[in-house]
Amino acid sequence: MVILHMTRSELLADGLSGRGITDAVRRGDLVRARRDRYVPADTPDDVIRAVRVGGRLTCLSLLAGLGVFVMNNSQLHVHVPRSASRMRSPHDRRRRLEPKRRRGVRLHWLPLSEDVGPATCVGIVDALAHAVLCQTPRAAIATLDSALHRGLVGAREIGEVFALLPLRYGAIRGLLDERAESGSETLMRLMLRGLGCRFDVQVRIDGVGRVDLVVDGWLVIECDSREFHAGWEAQEKDRRRDLALASRGYTVIRPTAAMIMGEPEVVLAAVRGLIAARIS
Give 234-274 pLDDT, tens digit per residue: 788 889 999 999 999 999 999 999 999 999 999 999 999 99
pLDDT band, very low/low/confident/very high, at 14 (cuts 50, 70, 90): confident
Burial 236-268 (b: 16+ CB within 10 A, else e): eebeebbebbeeeebebbbbbbebbbeebeebb
In the CATH scheme, what is the code of domain 183-279?
3.40.960.10
* 101 contacts 90 by C-beta, under 8 angstroms: no
In whole angstroms, give the CA distance from residue 186 to residue 214. 13
Q: What tens digit of pLDDT does each residue of 180-221 get? A: 999 999 999 999 999 999 999 999 999 999 999 999 999 999
Cβ burial, residue 206 (10 Å; 0-12/13-18/19+): exposed
Residue boundaries of the structural domains of the chain: 8-175, 183-279
